[in-house]
Amino acid sequence: MDKVDAQYLLGIVDCLGHFSIFTYKNYSYPKFIVYTQNRNIANLLYSFFNIGKITVKTKSRKKPIYIYSVTKCDELKKIINFFETHKLQIKYHEFIKFKEFFAKWHPKVQKRSREENIKALEKAISMYKGGVPVKEIVSKTGVSLNRLYIILKAYNLRRYKKVKNVSNIVYPIVKK
């Protein structure tokens, strides 16, 4: 098949596809998935959309299952645009719920330019030096906790506990 008919793809997705919303550690994200035992179908979807990835699951004594999946925000927009122009029959309501969720959804990791990342890290470091709690720094700057700790370690930045007033400490008298 050199040129794939859109109706053929709609039939495949109506039969084998899923518009899913996954939840992991209090974070939900959309995912478009097609499960098939036919490698050609997975490759066909991948070559038609030019996005996503194909993974293979194998269990002993069974045929392998090929999974075509799309999770990235920009790639999901392309999938949604395709299924808005080409209407599904069976999975239409599932697609509508998926599209509504996607419209409200904000990706956990948002792409920033190098300059924006540098500014965010500089702001995080200055906040850290100012004594702002780490959780607050992460929420206000958008810098990941792991990246913040890596930068702080690289710059050898540590917070030291303030020493309490030691004037009332009694030292023992040593006689010679």
pTM score: 0.61
Residue 173 has pLDDT above 70, yes or no: no
Residue 159's pLDDT band (boundaries 50, 70, 90)? low
Please give the pLDDT value at position 176: 56
Residue 68: count of CB within 10 angstroms of its CB: 25
Question: What's the residue count for the chain?
Answer: 176
User: Is 132 exposed, middle or buried (CB count within 10 Å of its CB: 0-12, 13-18, 19+)?
Assistant: middle
Residue 175 has pLDDT above 80, yes or no: no
pLDDT in tens, 61-102: 688 999 999 999 889 999 999 999 999 999 999 999 999 999
CA angle at residue 98 from 37 to 108, to 5 degrees? 100
Q: Give the integer Cα–Cα distance in Å for 39 and 66.
A: 6
Residue 27's pLDDT band (boundaries 50, 70, 90)? confident
Determine the 3-state secondary structure of 105 from DSSP: coil
pLDDT in tens, 106-140: 776 666 677 877 888 888 888 888 888 888 888 88
